Amino acid sequence: MGEQQYVKFPQEVIDEYAALGVDLPALFSAGHLGTRMGVEILEASADRVVGTMPVEGNTQPYGLLHGGASAVLAETLGSVGSMLHGGSSKIAVGVDLNCTHHRGVRSGLVTGVATPLHRGRSTATYEIVISDEDGRRVCSARLTCLLRDVRRGDGAHIGTAD
């Protein structure tokens, strides 16, 4: 986990958030849970979010990737896509997550790819496909986020100055 990795965002998106005092790459490179689990977001836009997570350290008692770990990766990727779709005036809040686990993984790295199924004014739904290093599907997930307006006081939670 060691070295800090930064998320790749389109420059216009970085500039939009920077004008609000938000360091977008740093915001989505950390996060206590994602950091502990080794989640790294490699690519991010409203059209596609890609991230990885190691299996090691994220297993259940049988030595397989924990289903909850797959859920964390899926919700992280779908939430980033939803937030980018909503723009700087919205906050994306997950309201429904569904995960179907297809096969067990004992080692290596899993990769998740989130793509939009629906992008509306008040909700966004993303499909997240998690695969093993051989490209085999490990998990299919779907996340719906509520897109609500940013309120006074939200800044402390999203890295802005009030």
Which among 12, 75, 127, 133 is annotated as catalytic?
75
In the residue annotation, 75 being an active-site residue is answered as yes
Q: How does DSSP assign the chain, residue by residue?
A: --S-------HHHHHHHHTTT--HHHHTT--HHHHHHT-EEEEE-SS-EEEEEESTTSB-TTSSBPHHHHHHHHHHHHHHHHHHHH-TTEEEEEEEEEEEE-----SSEEEEEEEEEEE-SSEEEEEEEEE-TTS-EEEEEEEEEEEEE--TTTHHHHT---
Residues forming the active site = 75
